[in-house]
Amino acid sequence: MPGDQELFDAVLQADRDRVIAAVRAGVDGGTPVSSLLMDCMVPAMREIGDRFAAGELFIPEMLFAARAMQAGLDIVEPLLGDSDHGSLGRVAVGTVKGDMHDIGKNLVVMMLKGGGYRVTDLGVDCSLETYEAAVAEGSTVLCCSALLTSTMTYMKQVVGRFQKDPAVKVIVGGAPVTRAFAEDIGADGFAEHASEATRVVSACLAGSAPAR
Amino acid sequence: MSGEGDGAMERLYAERLARYTTAMRNGRPDMVPIRPFVAEFTARHAGFTCQEVTHDYDKAFEAARRCAVDFDWDAVVSNMVYVWTGLTQAMGLRYYGVPGIDVPPDVGFQYLEPGDDGAFMRADEYDELIADPTAFLYNVWLPRVSSEVMQPGEASSYRGNLALVKGAMAMMQYFGAFGTQNARLRCESGTVSAIAGIFKAPFDILADKLRGYVGLCMDMCEQPSKVLEACEALMPHLYHVAKTTADPLQQVPIGYWMHRGCVPFVSPDQFASHYWPTVRPIIEELWRHGHQTLFYAEGDWKHHLESFRELPDQSIVYHVDQADVFDVHERLGDKFCLSGGIPNFLLAHRPASEVRDFCKKVIDVVAADGGYIMDASAIMQHDTRGENLAAMTECTREYGVYSGGTSSPPATPIVAEGSLSAHGGSATRPGQCVEWAKKAASLPVLEGDADLVEEVWNNIDSLGNVFIWQWLLSF
Ligand code: B12
């Protein structure tokens, strides 16, 4: 992590003020913003995701880390050129129609942001039109979350809608969603935990096999 | 109620009650009891929309009774579509999405949690809550959750006054109707009303209805001792609600809806410092009074099963949602009866044969020695398939018969008064709103039977308490 252990630590410890200070110092000191993002913040978020998956961190800590990271991103993002993180791709994340649960979806948003992706948070209760609009704005990966057995079937409609468009991938998740269900409806990817979302998205973008 | 022809139905009821209560005391009844928590499924089965059962509780009750007649179930909740629009409309309650008004007519009602910026209690209001929870609910919380009720100090309004009158009358009417519903379940289908009374953890009350989950997470970081104090202040009141709404015959358990007190919503340390110490004494005291509590453990509480083992044998019935029911059986089965564990995904989206296979496995392993009640993991909404519930029912009747099972009436534990019945430090005693002492001070010296005057005052005053705490816990 060239140069900025401080930024890495600050994100990891969810210290918002220190993140802001470290990003400002980095920018002022001439560190390329892409490096602040990819070499400091992204690895810190990966570490946080791994610790969450390992049961060493919990949702409250994840929320705080997300806030700290967001404060840093707010400074970094306007300074990033398209080539800086545009190359990773644009991802849209939303909870499907009829479903208002967003705690898990927010964790996915945060992990993907922390993975260096450009993320559009579509919020909850997302209809096909919402996902279509996200694609029209350049998202190539759609992440759908559902917490109710009555709404998870909507994911099938989302998958169906974009089936004929090879450029668009649909990834599904949420407590009742299983790998078997994801395969059944023909989703391009599935993950049990938010922390795996970046891996699944990157596999999708690399054009790898469906639902693994 | 028991005329000539009703004898058979009454016998069926008695048989089912014995089966259900024996299993709940972790015993081995004649067969595995079936107690499905069917919510919007009842509407689907009876041919009603979600809008109809939410707006018209007679239809909701009818739908529940229809299920009880059509399926061979031992116990059901008298109305699991518990929100009645009459109540929410009367008060202009802000936190429900209602079918036909806020959500489409065929979507179930839903609780909408405000974000941390719109929380019903602010981060700097802990002291006020702690000093007098009941007064806080009336003065601060109610005007915020209602579009009609005015804040103290604001000019009173026609609509505001009406809301309180209509809200209170609607609650009386609705609660009163449950008595008839339970009697009809008993004599029309011999079905037991599965639970009585309500409990929620102080920590969950703070997250669900006061600070919001995200707000509470911030508080746990910035002012954890205030959160603990607030949990402690809520304890005697929540105990009082549970105790006074429980089954006086001590047959069926108090429903305890467990939301976000487990890992990963909290850390193991937070569970140990805040959640559990402010729940455990209440469960123990309820048990001292002979009341079992049904732990409806939403999500997966696998990290906390050891803590639950601290509770006395049989004091709870443990309901399994997303956890692995076989694992929970290994870790808790010797102490407590378990229920649930049949994935809603199977019941809603897979063929009946898969439901049968899974149920059979659960019966073979988890129910092997008794102490198991057949049910889905989570409450069943209108996506549940009737044929799959039929498969669950038939499979249980086919494989769930015990040889040499008993149906011993549950033993009644010793009753001893504990500390929770006491004041708990808050300005208003649990169960009251305006203390008699305060009222008496404004009266002339009483003549004749002064105790009678006090008794009537206290009884009527306690209705004001029921009103506000029921809003907080049940709706
Ligand atoms: C919190 C909660 C609520 C809150 C939601 C607040 C909010 N802002 O989200 C409130 C109170 C509003 C609520 C309302 C309701 N709820 Co609710 N709720 C829950 C609860 C307690 C926790 C859900 C949660 O946040 N889990 C934590 C997160 C982190 O987990 P997660 O979302 O699965 O996410 C993880 C992974 O799945 C993954 N992930 C998630 N999404 C995605 C997406 C992708 C692409 C990927 C890769 C990964 C991924 O990442 C996360 C971290 O690893 C559960 C029970 C429980 N304990 O699980 C019930 C539960 C989900 N609710 C339920 C119900 C029935 C309801 C209501 C209908 C109740 C009612 N009648 O009011 C309403 C419905 C509202 C609606 N239309 O959505 C039922 C569902 C039953 C069923 N048949 O499916 C449950 C299971 C409770 C139960 N046992 O009955 N609920």
φ and ψ of B279, to 5 deg: -115, -50
Indicate if the pLDDT at residue B422 is higher than 60: no
Residue B414: predicted pLDDT: 59
Residue B260: predicted pLDDT: 95
φ and ψ of B348, to 5 deg: -95, -35
Distance B329 CA to ligand 1 centre (A): 24
**pLDDT tens-place string over residues B181-239:** 999 999 999 999 999 999 999 999 999 999 999 999 999 999 999 999 999 999 999 99
Which one is predicted more confidently, B66 or A195?
B66
The helix (run of H) or strand (run of E) holding residue B474 is: helix B450-474
Q: B105 vs chain A: nearest CA distance in angstroms?
A: 12
Q: B67 vs chain A: nearest CA distance in angstroms?
A: 20
Nearest to B332 by CA among B315, B355, B349: B315
Return the residue whose CA atom lies nearest to atom 25 of ligand 1. A103
Indicate if the pLDDT at residue A1 is higher than 90: no
Q: B382 vs chain A: nearest CA distance in angstroms?
A: 8
φ and ψ of B92, to 5 deg: 60, 45
Distance of CA B193 to the CA centre of its chain: 13
Domain at B3-474: CATH architecture: Alpha-Beta Barrel (3.20)
**pLDDT tens-place string over residues B9-33:** 999 999 999 999 999 999 999 999 9
**Neighbour tally for A90: CB within 10 Å:** 17
ipTM of this complex prediction, to 2 decimal places: 0.88
In chain B, % of residues over pLDDT 70: 95
φ and ψ of A125, to 5 deg: 60, 45
Indicate if the pLDDT at residue B282 is higher than 80: yes
Q: State the closest ligand 1 atom to the C-alpha of A191, by its place in the atom list counted from 1.
A: 47
**pLDDT tens-place string over residues B318-345:** 999 999 999 999 999 999 999 999 999 9
Stretch 19-58 of chain A: residues touching chain B, C-beta under 8 Å = 52, 55, 58
Q: State the closest ligand 1 atom to the C-alpha of B259, by its place in the atom list counted from 1.
A: 21
Can you tell me the distance from the alpha carbon of B336 to that of B318, in angstroms, rounded to the nearest whole number? 7
Domains of chain B, by residue range, sit at 3-474
Ligand 1, pocket residues at CB < 6 Å: A 59, 98-105, 107-108, 143-145, 147-149, 171-176, 191, 193-194, 197, 200; B 108-113, 259-260, 298-299, 321-322, 344, 378-379, 381
In the chain, the amino acid numbered B268 is: P
A103 neighbourhood in chain B, CB within 8 Å = 213
Return the residue whose CA atom lies nearest to atom 32 of ligand 1. A104
Cis peptide before B33 (omega within 30 of 0): no
Return the residue whose CA atom lies nearest to atom 58 of ligand 1. B299
Instruction: Look at A176 and B345 and tell me if their CB atoms are within 8 Å.
Output: yes
Indicate if the pLDDT at residue B155 is higher than 70: yes
Token code pair at residue B154: 């604001």
- pLDDT, average across residues B66-92: 96
In chain A, % of residues over pLDDT 70: 93
Residues forming beta bridges with residue B401, ordered by sequence position: B31
Helices (H), B137-212: 142-145, 158-189, 202-205
Q: Are B277 and B299 in contact (CB under 8 A)?
A: no
Q: B289 vs chain A: nearest CA distance in angstroms?
A: 36
- pLDDT, average across residues A115-119: 91
Q: What is the mean pLDDT of chain A?
A: 91
pLDDT band, very low/low/confident/very high, at A82 (cuts 50, 70, 90): low
Q: Is A83 exposed, middle or buried (0-12, 13-18, 19+ CB in 10 A)?
A: exposed
Nearest to A170 by CA among A151, A185, A148, A153: A185
Q: Are B435 and B457 in contact (CB under 8 A)?
A: no
Indicate if the pLDDT at residue A21 is higher than 70: yes
Indicate if the pLDDT at residue A86 is higher than 60: no
- DSSP letter at B138? I
Residue B416: predicted pLDDT: 60
Instruction: Look at A61 and B263 and tell me if their CB atoms are within 8 Å.
Output: no
CA–CA distances in Å: residue B338 to residues B80, B122, B174, B403, B426: 20, 38, 31, 20, 36
Return the residue whose CA atom lies nearest to atom 69 of ligand 1. B110
Can you tell me the distance from the alpha carbon of A115 to that of A43, in angstroms, rounded to the nearest whole number? 8
Residue A167: predicted pLDDT: 93
Residue-range domains of chain A with CATH: 5-84 (1.10.1240.10), 88-205 (3.40.50.280)
Indicate if the pLDDT at residue A85 is higher than 70: no
